[in-house]
Amino acid sequence: MINALSIEHLSFTYQSWTGKQNDPLFRGLSLQIPSGSKTLLLAPFNRGKTTLAKIICGVCPKYFPGEMDGLIRLYGKALGDLDPWDLLPVCTYVSQNPQEQFVATSVEEEIAFPLESMGMDRATMEARIEEAITHWGLQDLRTSSEQELSGGERKRVLLATMQAIDASFWLLDEAFDDLDQHWRDQLKDLIATSNKTVLVLASRYLGEFDDLFDQVLLLDEGVVVKGETNSLLTRFAHLCGDDLPSPLEREHVLPSQRRILSCLSLQAERSRVSTAESEHFTLEVPQFQLQSGELVTLVGPNGSGKSSFSRLLCGLDAPLGGQITIDGKPYEGKQLSKRVGYLFQSPDLQIFLPTVAEELSWSLKRRSDLSRKEVEKQVADCAELFSLDLDDTPTTMSYPLRKALQAAVYYLLDRPFYILDELDSALTYQSALSIIAHLRHNGAGILLITHDRQFADKVAQRSYTIEDGRLSAV
């Protein structure tokens, strides 16, 4: 039987933009994926998982420059011999960062775009779009723009597009992230029952992976490692640091002052301007409280209002009614934003400067009480703490490293409260826990939004949920 994917002696090194030579990501990597198989490739934080996916689907090094050697074949044909329009019906890629893949102005147009590029006839195209939209629960969002979708809704649009294209090979990078349990189960069932070749890349082993794959592989030190599954999982956990004590267990949180963030009888309404068939979304928060040093989780279905609630807490949106207080004093707007740090799902919405050093020093340079040397020392110490290179260019850094940079920026802002929206997406558990520990070190209260119940169970002291537009304690 012919392999769907065959990689022989792949080596790759990214082009350097700083004058410092980059280390090779892959050194003679070889990988064979049999046609029709279901494969899980595990990779620790920042080891080249996403780069490998982009090489397989032909966008790297074309759009992400670097030096590459080796031979890649899809169904027996050399990747270099396939034009983009020939590759589209062969291999479909779902990115770990949905925002980087959107090209159209609505959900329906997003799904239609690759089908039009394939020259598909109108009747077939319409039938596929309708089937995919229905399967992924996007009926009311067909006119919605990407900017008005939640992270989970964006991921479902990419999965619907993949289903509509109906390529032979599905390449899924952290595809289960951002999805609530219902849609994770839906994706698991689709993978299990399809006749496609499926390669899932992940930086965490989720419960949904049990009994789903024909083979489990590990990406380590630039090569793919095979072996007995339990042995590979043990090795993977060690590489990720998940066999170490949680950073949260080692920390001693000693708030310099006890502070309380509270909401009472909060009401909010949000409409999607681009969504023709969707009703106004309403959210009720009878009571919510977050204290210094606490770690509280917020869970709920995709589109239930978790991010909308976060925007209220940090002052980005104003409520229709009710009150947000800190230590019993009402706060709103900019007053809240200076006390509640909100780390968006996508770090790219909060990173905008050319280098890590400039990004970290931006807020410190605006403080009159810090000298230049003090700023430089704080920036250097912070970069070391978050494992960042000051000379790196954020736009060329990996997605997980950009999330670490986003967290480092807020660490220097030293807010008394933080909202972490899907922090764990694309990170190993240990990496996410380390970031939480750093942000919590000075006694900050943390609200963590996550769909990963395994992760929530690891960290939560208390938990809230949103169902049917109402926030309540669990």
CATH of the domain at 376: 3.40.50.300
Q: Which residues of the chain have pLDDT under 50?
A: none
**pLDDT confidence of residue 279:** 62
For 90-168, strand residue ranges (E) read 91-94
Claim to verify: residue 303 and residue 340 sit in the same structural domain: yes
Pairing of β 77-78 and β 66-74: antiparallel
Q: Tell me: do 347 and 309 sit in the same domain.
A: yes
Q: Are residues 166 and 63 in the same domain?
A: yes
When divided into structural domains, the chain yields a total of 2
Q: Are 137 and 183 in a shared domain?
A: yes
SS (HEC) of 316-332: CCCCCEEEEEECCEECC
pLDDT at 276: 66
**Whether 236 and 251 share a structural domain:** no
Read off the DSSP letter of residue 411. H
Same-domain check for residues 233 and 294: no
Residue 474 near residue 456, CB atoms below 8 Å: no
Do 264 and 230 belong together in one domain? no
Do 145 and 288 share a domain, yes or no? no
Task: Tell me which residue of 178, 160, 232, 136 sits closest to 399, measured CA to CA.
Answer: 178
372-385 and 399-413 are packed helices; what angle lies between their axes, rounded to 10 degrees? 140
Given this model, what pLDDT does residue 9 score?
96
Q: Which of 428, 28, 85, 439 is nearest to 221 (CA)?
A: 28
Q: Which helix (H) or strand (E) holds 359?
A: helix 356-361
* The token pair that represents 55 in the structure block: 């090489």
pLDDT for res 184 = 96
Q: Which amino acid is at 223?
A: V
Give the end of a domain, one of 208, 240, 272.
Answer: 240
Residue 86 structural domain: 3-240
Burial of 202 (0-12, 13-18, 19+ CB in 10 A): buried
Q: How far apart are CA 132 and CA 108, in angstroms?
A: 10
Residues in contact with 250: Cβ distance below 8 Å, sequence separation at least 6, in sequence order = 437
183 with 108, same domain: the answer is yes
Q: Find the helix or strand (DSSP H, E) in which 406 lies.
A: helix 399-413
Q: Answer yes or no: pTM beyond 0.95.
A: no
209 and 299 both lie in a single domain: no
Q: What is the pLDDT of residue 243?
A: 87
Q: Which domain-ending residue is among 223, 240, 257? A: 240
338 and 390 assigned to the same domain: yes
Do both 195 and 267 map to the same domain?
Answer: no
* Domain end residue (candidates: 206, 240, 274): 240
3-class secondary-structure state, position 5: strand
